[in-house]
A = this chain, B = another copy of it.
Amino acid sequence: MGLAHTPDRATLLDIYRKMTLIKQNDEKSRAIILSGKIPMVYYSPRGQEVIPSAISVNLKATDNICTIYRGTHDMLAKGVPLKDLWAELAGKSTGTCKGKGGPMHITHPASGVLVTTGIVGSSLPIANGVALASQIRGDGGVAVAYFGDGASNIGAFHEALNMAAVWKLPVIFVCQNNLYGEHTKYEKTTAAKRVADRADSYQIPGVRVDGNDPLAMYDAAKTAIDRARAGDGPTLIEAMTFRFYGHVFGDADRYMDDGEKKAAMANDPVPRFRQWLIDNGHSSDADLSAMETAVGKEIDEAIEAAIAAPFPDVAELRKDVFAEEIPA
């Protein structure tokens, strides 16, 4: 099937830069957790790099996303600064949320990360509201709701898609189908062959796309985003992918067929796209290596800064509960 939209060279490199950023950030996250230097509950997005990278190059800084606990890739692709992110992961006062939110609740409105949620399905109804504001103001903004395949069975999914469809909201629902919800396989819990098919219930476009293929993902994203921006309403995108490191980092993954994971890892989208860029003359090994090294350095600096940064004062418990500080 031909693609309606193909990214130009700069965009291709931008997608790759985001992908390597996500991949390296994940590697360094797992290492730092194992080192004990920054302990955290971590939901690795490794393997899912392509999806938000190919989407975000189609978004403006003023467009917003609502994402989930497994969302570092979505945040980084949207542009959350590494220093602010890492300081938050470390629970420091210099973090995006002054250390009060933590990994599951990263928020950074300046780069369009409005909500990160730990409740399955809840990113969708909230993204609707963000899109509703854009619709009322006529500001041309779009909102993206990220969620997993498991989330497609919860009530909020249904309510959100129906409302978005009825009101033609400028929102894109992106299901990152990594074949598992925690330890449970997609087929065991989901009566639809494809999540994308559920779009028919709301008479909106639903597309299943190879979420590990940057070109296909870019095309699906641009089509949906253009459509939303033009006022033609929401799209449901089901991006097929795989989690390399189980549900939560540290999982034994005994619920998974060993071959399944090995096959997915062998087909790692990041080196695959790297090779494609070189093979197709978009870049060279040397240039990409230089980019990767620069990205790695930036991450290391962010981690160091996070470790060095101060913890918040306990008086913070009385701040941001309400606009007014709670009396001591």
Interface SS of A by simple majority: helix
A89 to chain B, nearest CB (A): 32
A-B contact pairs, 5 of them (CB 8 A): A153-B163, A161-B191, A162-B192, A166-B188, A197-B201
Q: Does A154 contact B (CB under 8 A)?
A: yes
| Contact pattern, A 166-204, Cβ under 8 Å of B = 1, otherwise 0 | 100000000000000000000011111100011011111
Copies of the polypeptide in the assembly: 2
Residue in A158, A161, A198, A204 with the greatest tally of chain B CB atoms within 10 Å: A158
A311 interface hit (Cβ, 8 Å): no
- Among B161, B190, B200, the residue within 8 A (CB) of A166 is B190
The residue from B154, B190, B197, B204 contacting A191, defined by CB atoms under 8 A apart: B204
A159 proximal to B (CB < 8 A): yes
Give the Cβ gap from A148 to chain B, nearest Cβ, in Å: 15
Task: Name A166's closest neighbour in chain B (CB-CB).
Answer: B191
Residue numbers in B under 8 Å from A203 (CB-CB): 191-193
CB of A132 closer than 8 Å to a CB of B:
no
A295: Cβ under 8 A from any B Cβ = no
Judge whether A55 is part of the interface by a CB distance below 8 angstroms.
no
Known: A155-B157, A166-B191. 15 other contacts (CB 8 A): A154-B155, A157-B158, A158-B158, A158-B159, A162-B190, A166-B188, A191-B201, A191-B202, A192-B203, A193-B203, A197-B200, A197-B201, A198-B201, A200-B201, A201-B201
